[in-house]
Amino acid sequence: MKGPRSEGTAKVIKNERQGYWFVLPCFILLVAVLGFPMVMAVLNSFTPIWTKGLSGFTLAYYQRLFHDDVFWNSITRTIYFVGATVGLHLLLGLAVALALNTAIRGRRFFRVMAILPWTVPDVIAGLVWAWMFDPLSGILNDVLLRLGLIASPVEWLANPALVMPSVILADAWRGYPFVMLVLLAGLQAIPKDLYEAAKVDGASAIQEFFHVTLPNLKGMIAIATILDIIWQARRFGLIWVMTEGGPARQTEILSVLAYRQYFKFFNFEYASAMSVALALVLLIIGLPYVRTVARKV
Amino acid sequence: MKRRTIAVLLALVTLFGVGSLGGGKVRLVFSNWHLVEPHWEKSLKEAIAQFMVENPDIEVVLDYVSYAEKETKYMTAIEAGVGPDVMHLGPAEVSFGLFASRGYFYDLTPFIAAEGPGFLDAWYPATVEALTYKGRIYGLGANYQAMVLMYNKRLFVEAGLDPDKPPTTWDEFLAYAKKLTRDRDGDGRIDTWGFGTVGRVDPGFQLRFTPVLFSHGGDYLTPDYKCSVLNSAAGKEAFRFFVELFTVHGVIPPGVTDMSPGKVREQFAAEKVAMILTSAWGPPIIKSIRPDVAWDQILGMAPVPVKAGTDPKIRTTAFLSYYAINRNTKHAAEAWRLLKFVTSKAMQEKWFRDANVLSARRDVSEEYGPLLADPYAKLIGAELARAKLVPLIPEWPQIIEAVNVAVQKGFIGEDLSKAWAEAYRRINDVLAVYRAKGEACPPY
């Protein structure tokens, strides 16, 4: 005989099943927009599926990666770019988040201003910074020349020693707000009594930062870092409009190389192998984040 | 109320149904990057309107596409089974080999055969040959013009050079470029340079480097495409000369590895550089950048210089654009009528009048009165006899990228021999598809 308790459980189960129906359209969209291209890219990296169908699997495209010095150059460029930009995003993001977490006048205004770079599409940001870096007509050289800090125009995007730092600077400006927002949320979640207790114990501001703020922010820093690494490794638009991976492959990160192989050289299978290789690395990096989210769910 | 609602719905359905019938017209999509340029847009719209009057059974829809991304857009669309019916592509070496080898184009050979013998006689043979893949014709040439030297006569005069005596050898060119590299405004800094060129990895790089290579007697590949010939003495000399214009002689402005064709033209219009390599499209663009300047009195054009003491049969290259039909078209016969129209003598003459471009049709570039009366156009047309197209093979984009990167490496100060040797090696790796197993290329 059904009692009140089993009726309640049945209702919960029914509500859960209804929930799946609400999620279904989004799931179908994700499969179509993300899942299908992902599966096709993986298949394409083993066989020329677009032109010859499933005509036989081969590891030839992956084998080619190992012997291709241009591919390995793009790996080192990617590590350089991702390491530097994620580091700068963290530093800038934390600094601005700490500043915005204080009770200053006009805090809301400054918060809006701090987010603005993130609202600029990376292609537009790239174009703007490319103009600023122009050796003859860019504002940067103009100001530096007028101040007497340089004697002749600096080739920001043509000098091999300066081009990657220039691209990194442009991306640091555009990308830090996301990290700032994540860390700001984390800062605001730190209980105030921890700081009061530290004050009572006679801790200085620096000691508070290292012994209260940072330990409590560890989780958010980890999440922001993992997500930023994944996004930065896939950065394309800003680099393409600024340098197209030049000069002489100095800024040719893997996403730029894969794009060129696919859309300029029509080496679909080889480009797919590159993309799958990158995706595997990012999946390994992203596993801790996925596990954390799955645990919460 | 219910009856009224049903009646309204039925009326709407009927309206949409009738609308979709299209009155029996065939709908063609015509894609052309020139549509985004105002003077071209007007001219093309006039032409298409005329076509539709002459062909009342066809409706043509214009498709705007950017010059830089048109190949990407077409490739994606064609692979998806869609795309415009008729496309304008160029420069030909960027797309033709890749697209033809992947079967993206409709075979025009039966249509051409149906036109009767001699149909193709109007076109330059080099363009017909270039747009043939494995014995089948997949495109008809549209714009075809040689690369030449354009220079600023005013800057020549200021530097003490005779504006009516442009350089004819590379030694003269270098001497002129050095004199033209000077401080014009007296602030102690150089603000005008002798030569501007493309150094970015860009389709326009080939059109600026190839004339230097060819006029030195060099070339890219063997005639059978099995190996690169960049390791020839002429090839090495041309590479060194081109790079040292920047690294040793300082006659090219800073930032050369970031220079695209558009940026170089802006430098020329701003009188930051005195000489550039360009073709018929150059003067109208320069005039549009600075319409306040009396460019007709300032611009000069001359053949590309050659190595001193030589008179090579081939001293420059040419830009070739073409029209092709998408393999996915559902109306091939109608698409052929449109393609024939836009490449007809009348329309090619119109493109010269409206946009100053020369034609792949000999009966236009060698016979059209107004073209021959224009001194620039006449020179560019005459230089076609001294021009050679680069190989329109599927591997070409990878080949020129290797050369482009080698030049960039030279510009940024890396070892020239090493950079050129690496380009030679990479190109030979790409060309392995043309060699039998075990067949090797000569060492660098």
d(CA B273, CA B159): 12
Q: How many domains does the structure of chain B reveal?
A: 2
Rounded CA gap, A296 and B131, in Å?
A: 61
Residue bearing tokens 């077409």? B74
Q: Does A237 touch chain B (CB under 8 A)?
A: no
Instruction: Specify the pLDDT at position B6.
Output: 65
**Owner of token pair 């360009």:** B278
Identify the residue whose tokens are 């070339």. B219
C-beta separation of B52 from B58 below 8 A: yes
Q: Which two tokens stand for residue B206?
A: 């080939």
Instruction: Determine the pLDDT at residue A37.
Output: 86
Averaged pLDDT, A18-39: 87
Residue B336 inside a domain? The answer is yes
Whether residues B201 and A158 touch (CB distance < 8 A) is answered with: no
Q: Are A225 and A83 in contact (CB under 8 A)?
A: no
Q: Does B337 fall in a domain? A: yes
B198: in domain: yes
Which CA distances in Å does A108 have to A100, A101, A175, A183? 9, 11, 20, 16
pLDDT exceeding 90 applies to what percent of chain A?
Answer: 57
The answer to whether B257 contacts A248, with C-beta atoms less than 8 Å apart, is yes
Which pLDDT tens digit goes with each residue over B279-293? 999 998 999 899 999
Q: How confident is the model at residue B10 (pLDDT cuts 50, 70, 90)?
A: low
Phi, psi of B32, deg, nearest 5: -155, 125
Is B398 found in the same domain as B258?
yes
pLDDT confidence of residue A49: 73
- Other C-beta atoms closer than 10 Å to the C-beta of B265 total 22
- Same domain flag for B408 and B362: no
Q: Retrieve residue A289's tokens.
A: 């984040």
Instruction: Output the pLDDT for position A294.
Output: 65
CB B192 within 8 A of CB B274: yes
Domain extent for B214: 148-316+393-434
Euclidean distance between CA atoms A166 and A140, whole angstroms = 11
Domain match, B173 and B233 both: yes
In a domain, B88, yes or no: yes
**C-alpha to C-alpha distance for B368 and B92, rounded to whole angstroms:** 24
Rounded average pLDDT over B415-441: 96
Interchain pair A246, B255: CB under 8 A = no
Q: How far apart are alpha carbons B263 and A137 in whole angstroms?
A: 11
Q: Which residues of B touch A (CB under 8 A)?
A: 71-72, 75, 79, 98, 102, 189, 199-202, 253-258, 267, 272, 394, 397-398, 401, 405, 408-409, 411-414
Residue B438 has pLDDT above 70, yes or no: yes
A33: Cα separation from own chain's centroid: 20
A266 to B408: CB separation less than 8 angstroms, yes or no: no
Q: Are residues B169 and B273 in the same domain?
A: yes
- Are B71 and B171 in a shared domain? no
Phi, then psi, of B387 in degrees rounded to 5:
-110, 150
Q: What is the DSSP letter of A56?
A: -
Contact by Cβ (8 Å): B106, B344: no
**Residue B31, φ and ψ in degrees, nearest 5:** -110, 130
Q: What is the CATH number of the domain that holds B59?
A: 3.40.190.10
Is B44 domain-assigned?
Answer: yes
The ipTM of this complex is: 0.87
- Which residues in chain B have their CB less than 8 angstroms from residue A131's CB? none
Mean pLDDT of chain B: 94
Give me the residue label for tokens 């009224």: B4
| DSSP alpha helix (H) spans, B139-232 | 153-158, 170-180, 203-215
pLDDT at B162: 97
Q: What is the number of alpha carbons within 13 Å of residue B256 lying toward its C-beta? A: 30
**Looking at the complex, does the CB of residue A68 fall below 8 Å from at least one CB of chain B?**
no
Q: Please enumerate in sequence order all residues whose Cβ is within 8 A of that of B265, keeping only pairs 6 or more positions apart, or say none.
A: B276, B278, B282, B285, B286, B289
pLDDT digits (tens, 9 = 90+) for B349-408: 999 999 999 999 999 999 999 999 998 999 999 999 999 999 999 999 999 999 999 999
> What are the structural domains, with CATH classification, of chain A?
1-58 (no CATH), 67-296 (1.10.3720.10)
Based on the fold, state whether residues B215 and B178 are members of the same structural domain: yes
**A42, A70, A274, A277, B367 from A64: Cα distances, Å:** 16, 11, 10, 12, 53
Q: Please give the share of chain B, as a percent, with pLDDT higher than 70.
A: 95
Say if B263 falls within a structural domain. Answer: yes
Domain closes at, from B371, B386, B401 = B386
Q: What is the mean pLDDT of residues A56-82?
A: 93
Would you give the DSSP letter of residue B25? Answer: P
> Taking 90 as the threshold, does the pLDDT of residue A9 lie above it?
no
Q: What is the mean pLDDT of residues A274-283?
A: 92
pLDDT given for residue B8 in this prediction: 63
Residues in chain A: 297
The residue with greater pLDDT, A219 or B121, is: B121
Q: How many Å apart are CA A233 and CA B271, to the nearest integer?
A: 41
Looking at the structure, do residues B154 and B255 belong to the same domain, yes or no?
A: yes
| Category of A249 on φ-ψ map: left (φ > 0), alpha (ψ -120 to 50) or beta | left
Residue B2 lies in a domain: no
Q: Which of B366, B386, B406 finishes a domain?
A: B386
Q: Please name the helix (run of DSSP H) or strand (run of DSSP E) that holds residue B277, with its range, or none.
A: strand B273-278
Residues B374 and B229 in one domain: no
Q: Residues B210, B250: one domain?
A: yes
Q: For B29-66, write each residue's pLDDT tens digit.
A: 999 999 998 889 999 999 999 999 999 999 999 999 99
pLDDT at B1 over 60: no
**What type of residue is A114?**
A
Give the type of residue at A162. L
CA of A118 vs chain B CAs: smallest distance (Å): 26
Residues B290 and B354 reside in one and the same domain: no
A66 touches chain B (CB under 8 A): no
* Predicted TM-score (pTM) of this structure: 0.89
Helix (H, G, I), strand (E, B) or coil at B388: coil
Mean of pLDDT values over A91-96? 94
- Tell whether B357 and B300 lie within a shared domain: no
- pLDDT, one tens digit per residue, over B207-233 is 999 999 999 999 999 999 999 999 999
Nearest CA among B427, B391, B435 for reference residue B231: B427
* Lowest model confidence (mean pLDDT) among A196-205, B122-131, B174-183: A196-205
Q: Cα angle vertex B53, ends B47, B56, to 5°?
A: 130
- The percentage of chain B sitting over the pLDDT mark of 90, rounded to a whole number, equals 91
Picking from B71, B272, B398, the nearest residue to A136 by CB comes out as: B272
H-helix or E-strand spanning residue A10: helix A4-30
Nearest residue of A to residue B394, measured between CA atoms: A265
Q: Rounded to an integer, what distance in angstroms lies between the CA atom of residue B256 and that of residue A130?
A: 14
- Domain end, chosen from B386, B401, B421, is at B386
Quote the minimal CA–CA distance from B2 to chain A in Å.
33
Q: What is the pLDDT of residues A186-210, one digit of tens each?
A: 999 998 888 888 888 888 988 888 9
Instruction: Report yes or no: A60 at the B interface, CB cutoff 8 Å.
Output: no
The distance of B439 to chain A (nearest Cα, Å) reads 20
A125 SS3 class: helix
Phi, psi of B132 (to 5 degrees): -110, 135
CB B256 within 8 A of CB B246: yes
Cα atoms in the Cβ-side hemisphere of radius 13 Å centred on B205: 22
Task: Determine, yes or no, domain membership for B261.
Answer: yes
Q: Which of A7-16, A33-42, A191-200 has the lowest mean pLDDT?
A: A7-16
If asked whether residues B305 and B335 sit together in one domain, one would say no
